[in-house]
Structure 1
Amino acid sequence: MNLDSVIGTFIAESQELLQQMEDALLQIEQAPDDQELINAIFRAAHTIKGSSGLFGFDNIVAFTHVAESVLDRIRSGELRFDAELIALMLKVGDHLAGLIRHLASGADLAELPDSVNAHGQELVAALSRYLQPNTATTAATTSAATPSAPLSASSDGLANWYLSLRFGPDTLRNGMDPLAFVRYLSTLGQILHIEVVQDHLPNLDEMDAETCYLGLELSFASDAQASAIEGAFEFVREDGSLHILPPGAPLSALREVLEARANEGALQVERLVRCTKVDAAALVPEASTSVATSATQQATTPTPDASDNRAVATKETPRANADTNLIRVDAAKLDQLINLVGELIIAGANTRMLAQRSGLLDMCESAETLSRLVEEVRDSALTLRMVQIGATFNRFQRVVRDVSKELGKDIVLQISGGDTELDKTVVEKIGDPLTHLVRNSMDHGIEPADVRLAAGKSLQGVVRLNAYHEAGGIVIEVSDDGGGLNPQKILAKATQRGLIAEGQQLSDKEIFNLIFEPGFSTAEQISNLSGRGVGMDVVKRNITALRGSVELDSTLGTGTCVRIRLPLTLAIIDGFLIGVGQSCYVVPLDMVEECIELPSEQLAGQQHLDLRGDVLPFIRLRQMFDDQSTPPRRENVVVVSYAGVRAGLVVDQLLGEFQTVIKPLGKVFCQVPALSGFTILGSGAVALILDIPGLLAQVTQNGSMRAATQSSPLRSTVQ
């Protein structure tokens, strides 16, 4: 059993539970009496506490226990959520998240900084105020309802908790230690009596060190809630057989336990009597005939082995064999799978090329079948890495809540397109740019209340997050209904900083793009959120690193929209292979509209052609990459489009579709604007992947192809 792996699972699950807890707390602001949300918050805290106890993280257990106690009072109706308590619980979640991150870094919780411990104590003190009974009646009722001292059994039922536990054979393999449950129970109350059930231990030579053969019978005095005790066994319930009876349970409940433990016969009757102090005469005569029969046959019946125990556990817990729809897989394993699929694609391309060269029909057919299967494996592997962006969007509810309070503005976040899927790597790296854009919209975009009223707007500002698929990629929009951008103000600031010449004429779109220049800011005052000119250039740089693009639209007085375009995956794409001289290049297939022959009359230095009535600028890749080879008599144009902009690429050869494994460029070439990566062809040669958004942006910025081709040529180093 790998303990590090099990703790890693605990950390991942705890982070998910804390996110669920935060989401529910934000929703409960609008519905403070929603019992389903209250239960969800309680379950998250309770599960984290129970799991922490199993691993011996006592400080997490102690801290979460206080929060859980407050949540339990809310659940029972003694307390009610208000703004102050919600804010406190959000801070509790933040503190727990910090402890979990500390664990994830490999550090020991005993080595927490003093400031973290002090903050935790402050939160415990704040929570403790909610645990003080409102009246003496409440305290008396609570004391009477949940006895904390051992009591004697009566004929009416149990005096204390009774637990009959049979751990499943895979308990140890799943990272659970039966002794950890005993230690955890001792933190909730007093264990009065405990017996180890070892009826199913095999002979020493038949024993498996990783198989659990034991059970427990114990009597337990505690004033804890039933959910706290039952929740401790949440992770072993499916693999084992558990019976947990509270104080006051009738004798009929004990008889049901004997019925379930019929295969253990008289031994179980004796254990139950010793644990509960119940009168055997009152219990056994009324028990079911199966128990009586089992007791009389116990002397002649061999002790059931582990396989028999497993059969009983399976019968009592049918969920143990239930199909599970979801499994947790380490992201590193998925990355390794994608890398291997990439190598398989390259090997498959080589096989296909060799088959075509051989001229053997059977070999060509086999190579085509292999290519088709590899393509299916590729699609399936990439699907495994696809996640919905909604989880990332939902995290901004907290950002909007906190920042709006800091700014003193009433702002709501609206989310759409949360079910849009993209690569997990992209989702992880898009978080920081989105955070900056959302905060920017709230600080610069949404106006103060008096300004909105004067403009005839609602007092409540709106920030929107939207995502949708477009042309084989994903578009993410961050928009607001604020005051919009003033082009003249941006132009004046850019002129003042020397970014543009005095009197230079720019379109609104070109003016808005100045915002992405390093250090540019129109804020008149520096705040905790913005105004230092650091941010939008970083946003653009991070998006560009993901092979994406960012653009901005704004209408003065109406609002602003920042639009981010990203590829669905950073690993493998469908490409279109083209040739120029002895070099090969790849264009993303979803950006290719059509291929046409370049008319001969267009060869005399012109940079545009008439495509069915539309003016189409084209880029001569031979000139751009300074290829000195002689162009063929017949050249082709690959029409590409991205974000509504079209252009043509003049090439020598159209080599067809190609499954492209994207590999990053080295440090020397990573800043070349026309390239986004490279791939390996079946022949072993290298093909450069063209950065179509970058090329089209160059065409748009210069306004003509002449400016583009007269810029410094990019000499291809791949022949």
Structure 2
Amino acid sequence: MDELTSVFVQESREQLADMEAGLLRLEQDPQDADNINAIFRAAHTIKGASGVIECGFIESFTHKVENILDKLRNGEITVSGNLATLLLECCDHMGHLIDVLEAGQPAPSPEVTAQAEALGVRLDAQLAAASGTEVQQGADAGSVPVEHESPVEVSGGGVVITDGWLISVRFGPNVLRGGMDPLSFLRYLSSLGEILGIETLPDAMPEAEDMDPESCYLGFEIHFQTRASKADIERVFDFVQDECELRILPPNSKLSEYLKHIEELPEDTMRLGEILVRCGALTQAELDEALRLQHDSTCQHQEDSQGEDAHPQQLGEILVEQKVVQKALVDAAVGKQTQVSEKKAKESRMIRVQADKLDQLIDLVGELVIAGASTNLLANRSGQSDLVEATSILSRLVEDIRDSALQLRMVQIGETFNRFQRVVRDVAKELEKNIELQVSGGETELDKSVVEKIGDPLTHLVRNSMDHGIEAAEIRLARGKPAHGTLGLNAYHDSGSIVIEVSDDGGGLKKDRILAKAIEKGLVQSGHNLTDQEIVNLIFEPGFSTMEKVSNLSGRGVGMDVVRRNIMALRGSVEIDSRPGLGTTMRIRLPLTLAIIDGFLVGVDKGAYVIPLDTVVECIELKDQPDSRHYLNLRGEVLPFVRLREAFNIEGDIPPRENVVVVQYAGQKAGIVVDQLMGEFQTVIKPLGNLFKHLKGIGGSTILGSGEVALILDVQALIQRCASADELRMRNSNRLLGATNLN
């Protein structure tokens, strides 16, 4: 039971995510019948599965939600904003109930139960309103005949006749245990009209040795003639509505109704004839006759040795020729078969693996990389060509294993982006703003561990853009903008990193107001000259906020500093690009993986350092460069550089030949001056302890093949150091120039 519960929790969360996404789409396109059916199926699946694991509190609440969705599916309730909000709240509550089950609690807490009761009252109100409309519609349908085009003409007393109802019912296995007799429902049904034809379907009946005498395995396809309404027919099965699958097609149903019925049949392996029988388009007698004709055709084909192109007639062709069903129904049934088989084939190719097992595999691959590097080093020192060749093959295989293992953890960021559809909808309603979310780059992949940790920072940035960035509708109209704002989420790869952008078309950051607030809070001294980028970065300071009033969303100065701290913990950075009156883009730059990277090994004195290979542009020799100068001419471009000896206070003699490793990060270039270039190196990242958190320019450590420890350089921090030093030199030059002009 524990294993069943674990599977239920995992799959129910997936169904809830699909259900929520469908409800968000429902507001945009209320007429999308496929979407409504998908929402209903998700709720129905959760309810059925909760019954299997005997979780009554999930089953009972989900049943109420399913009733509303059924009315919506049948067109008895129209889509509205209030209804969508109610159903989304029900989704949230179902998630809470699943949390209760996962925590192993026997029942929800009083608070959760009270919330369920409040939602139940609102759901009952929707059902009551729908019932009043339904009775009126039923009365009209019973008194005024509705003319439709007849989809099928059936001979031989078939089920589908143009002047009757088609009732498709599949009783659940617990009907008999509940004291209900399926035949009593059929007898009561005959009191409302005349049963013209009935087909008993024993397809769910197991082998005799597996049969339970207390279980019901029967289903029926009923051709029924009555002047009662659809609601009256449904009420016949009220006592077993939780224990049966009921489908009712009215008289003179269009072909589309039967096609829809085929599409909604259970996901099971069925043959073509079984599908047509189940949907009521074919009787068992007609199917048997068609199968007999197909058998005769096959025998004739085997006996006939003439005509190489001859082939036995297919069942669908025979049914269409006999004018038993229309070709469209046969095509739909074939499509259903294909859909089921493709889904089962896809499921058979997938396997669920626990995350901790995957993490353990990555750790082992990391150790394998280190061991492989050590073996390679020893082979090169031995000078044996055969051994060197063997270890090179081994190194290539280890690299392939590493790439494949890391690929297992790569997931698309689109699933994370789609969760913000709900966030944007709810926050926009709270702010009374009309905001549209545009998502792009959802197919971009990154490490699962990064995805799990980026959710909270993204939420802060999205809410901040909606609250601070996008203006109210009247202000936008006065500025010549459309009344609705646009919030964008985008992701793409750049230089071995993933970049995630949160953009809005609002008013942009007010730099004067930010600077004034920073001076007021003592973060900046009055009269101190700051660049635009430095002013913008003040919003990441703890406790900083320009909001005058504290709201549910912002104003307390908590959020943006957390964003930067969480992103830096992922070895990433956050940048801001704001244009007054046009909008703001928050740009998060993260490494693709937190486990293993390709590195470029360099040496300074006796120490070894690793530069992430994705940031390396080129290597050049440093010639005739004064020690006081920290920039050089790179083919007409000024390139600032930092000497690792100076940055890390490394003593010792400077070698006669130094090298510059040109690196690039976020569009900025800089140079790193080192003593030696030692080549490419596969690096397993080992985090530094808390004792070394204050170090600037160091992003982690790794173990070399020789067993020595090498430090991994933080290229972003080193480039920022170069940029700051370059900006300081420019200010000093301008100050000196100004003093010269005064003299």
TM-score computed with the length of structure 1 as normaliser: 0.77
Between the aligned partners of 1:597 and 1:414, the Cα distance in structure 2 is: 47
Match for residue 57 of structure 2? 59
Q: What amino acid does structure 1 have at the position aligned with 2:429?
A: K
Name the CA shift for 1:357/1:63 in 2 (closer, same or farther; >3 Å): same
Residue pairs, 1:132-151, within 5 angstroms? 132=128, 133=131, 134-136=133-135
Out of 252, 276, 290, the residue aligned to residue 284 of structure 2 is 252
User: What is the Cα-based RMSD across aligned positions, in Å?
Assistant: 3.8
Q: What amino acid does structure 2 have at the position aligned with 1:121?
A: E
The answer for unaligned runs of 5 or more in structure 2 is 143-156, 160-164, 185-201, 220-236, 249-260, 293-339, 731-743
Superposition deviation, residue 325 in structure 1:
3.9
Q: What amino acid does structure 1 have at the position aligned with 2:82?
A: E
Superposition deviation, residue 653 in structure 1:
1.1
Residue pairs, 1:488-507, within 5 angstroms? 488-507=512-531
Out of 401, 408, 424, the residue aligned to residue 432 of structure 2 is 408
Match for residue 294 of structure 1? none
Q: Is the 8 A contact 2:173 2:216 kept in 1?
A: no
Q: Judge which range, 221-230 or 439-448, deviates more.
A: 221-230
Match for residue 621 of structure 1? 644
Using the aligned pairs only, state the percent identity: 52
Superposition deviation, residue 218 in structure 1:
2.6
Residues 1:182 and 2:173 aligned together: yes
Q: What amino acid does structure 1 have at the position aligned with 2:578?
A: S
Out of 657, 669, 681, the residue aligned to residue 692 of structure 2 is 669
Superposition deviation, residue 28 in structure 1:
1.3
Residue pairs, 1:215-234, within 5 angstroms? 218-219=217-218, 222-223=240-241, 224-226=244-246
Between the aligned partners of 2:593 and 2:36, the Cα distance in structure 1 is: 38
Residues 1:583 and 2:601 aligned together: no
Residues 396-454 of structure 1: CA deviation (Å, up to 9, x unaligned)? 11111111111111111111111111111111111111111111111111112222122
Match for residue 354 of structure 1? 378
Out of 428, 437, 441, the residue aligned to residue 465 of structure 2 is 441
Residues 445-500 of structure 1: CA deviation (Å, up to 9, x unaligned)? 11122221221111111111111111111111111111111111111111122212
Between the aligned partners of 2:179 and 2:592, the Cα distance in structure 1 is: 49
Between the aligned partners of 1:455 and 1:318, the Cα distance in structure 2 is: 56
Out of 121, 126, 129, the residue aligned to residue 125 of structure 1 is 121
Out of 551, 567, 577, the residue aligned to residue 527 of structure 1 is 551
Q: What amino acid does structure 2 have at the position aligned with 1:378?
A: R
Q: What amino acid does structure 1 have at the position aligned with 2:656?
A: R
Superposition deviation, residue 513 in structure 1:
0.8
Match for residue 622 of structure 2? 598
Out of 41, 48, 68, the residue aligned to residue 39 of structure 2 is 41
SS in 2 for 1:348: helix
Q: What amino acid does structure 2 have at the position aligned with 1:91?
A: E
Match for residue 317 of structure 2? none
Match for residue 107 of structure 1? 104
Match for residue 678 of structure 1? 701
Q: Is the 8 A contact 2:167 2:246 kept in 1?
A: no
Name the CA shift for 1:25/1:693 in 2 (closer, same or farther; >3 Å): same
Residues 1:610 and 2:633 aligned together: yes
Match for residue 77 of structure 1? 75
Between the aligned partners of 1:80 and 1:467, the Cα distance in structure 2 is: 37
Q: Judge which range, 212-221 or 126-135, deviates more.
A: 212-221
Between the aligned partners of 2:427 and 2:343, the Cα distance in structure 1 is: 46
Residues 520-559 of structure 1: CA deviation (Å, up to 9, x unaligned)? 1111111110011111110000110111000111122221
Q: What amino acid does structure 1 have at the position aligned with 2:530?
A: L
Superposition deviation, residue 327 in structure 1:
3.0
Q: Is the 8 A contact 2:461 2:502 kept in 1?
A: yes
Between the aligned partners of 2:285 and 2:42, the Cα distance in structure 1 is: 30
Superposition deviation, residue 189 in structure 1:
6.5
Between the aligned partners of 2:430 and 2:557, the Cα distance in structure 1 is: 20
Name the CA shift for 1:185/1:5 in 2 (closer, same or farther; >3 Å): farther
Out of 16, 19, 36, the residue aligned to residue 17 of structure 2 is 19
Between the aligned partners of 1:162 and 1:71, the Cα distance in structure 2 is: 19
Residues 1:645 and 2:668 aligned together: yes
Between the aligned partners of 2:264 and 2:181, the Cα distance in structure 1 is: 15
Residue pairs, 1:453-532, within 5 angstroms? 453-532=477-556
Between the aligned partners of 2:519 and 2:350, the Cα distance in structure 1 is: 57
Instruction: Count the aligned residue pairs.
Output: 610
Between the aligned partners of 1:253 and 1:396, the Cα distance in structure 2 is: 54
Q: Is the 8 A contact 1:678 1:688 kept in 2?
A: yes
Q: Is the 8 A contact 1:200 1:214 kept in 2?
A: no
SS in 2 for 1:465: strand
Between the aligned partners of 2:89 and 2:175, the Cα distance in structure 1 is: 26
Between the aligned partners of 1:373 and 1:656, the Cα distance in structure 2 is: 19
Residue pairs, 1:291-310, within 5 angstroms? none
Superposition deviation, residue 107 in structure 1:
2.5
Between the aligned partners of 2:714 and 2:564, the Cα distance in structure 1 is: 16
Match for residue 636 of structure 1? 659
Name the CA shift for 1:141/1:247 in 2 (closer, same or farther; >3 Å): farther
Residues 124-176 of structure 1: CA deviation (Å, up to 9, x unaligned)? 22112233322546678999xxxxxxxxxxx9999998879xxxxxxxxxxxx
Name the CA shift for 1:684/1:541 in 2 (closer, same or farther; >3 Å): same
SS in 2 for 1:111: coil
Q: What amino acid does structure 1 have at the position aligned with 2:78?
A: R
Superposition deviation, residue 27 in structure 1:
1.1
Between the aligned partners of 1:344 and 1:463, the Cα distance in structure 2 is: 44
Between the aligned partners of 2:179 and 2:532, the Cα distance in structure 1 is: 67
Residues 279-332 of structure 1: CA deviation (Å, up to 9, x unaligned)? xxxxxxxxxxxxxxxxxxxxxxxxxxxxxxxxxxxxxx9779846343332222
SS in 2 for 1:29: helix
Name the CA shift for 1:242/1:583 in 2 (closer, same or farther; >3 Å): farther
Between the aligned partners of 1:320 and 1:513, the Cα distance in structure 2 is: 50
Q: What amino acid does structure 2 have at the position aligned with 1:72?
A: D
Residues 1:566 and 2:585 aligned together: no
Between the aligned partners of 1:697 and 1:242, the Cα distance in structure 2 is: 69
The answer for unaligned runs of 5 or more in structure 1 is 144-154, 165-180, 202-211, 261-316, 708-719
Q: Judge which range, 468-477 or 128-137, deviates more.
A: 128-137
Between the aligned partners of 2:722 and 2:62, the Cα distance in structure 1 is: 59
Q: What amino acid does structure 1 have at the position aligned with 2:41?
A: R
TM-score computed with the length of structure 2 as normaliser: 0.75
Residues 1:328 and 2:352 aligned together: yes
Residues 48-95 of structure 1: CA deviation (Å, up to 9, x unaligned)? 111111111122111111111211121122222111111111111111
Q: Is the 8 A contact 1:482 1:558 kept in 2?
A: yes
Residues 372-403 of structure 1: CA deviation (Å, up to 9, x unaligned)? 11111111111111111111111111111111
Residue pairs, 1:166-181, within 5 angstroms? none
SS in 1 for 2:28: coil
Between the aligned partners of 2:117 and 2:278, the Cα distance in structure 1 is: 33
SS in 1 for 2:528: coil
Match for residue 84 of structure 2? 86
Match for residue 149 of structure 2? none
Residue pairs, 1:271-310, within 5 angstroms? none
Between the aligned partners of 2:492 and 2:574, the Cα distance in structure 1 is: 15
Q: What amino acid does structure 2 have at the position aligned with 1:414?
A: Q
Between the aligned partners of 1:189 and 1:233, the Cα distance in structure 2 is: 25
Q: Is the 8 A contact 2:603 2:674 kept in 1?
A: yes
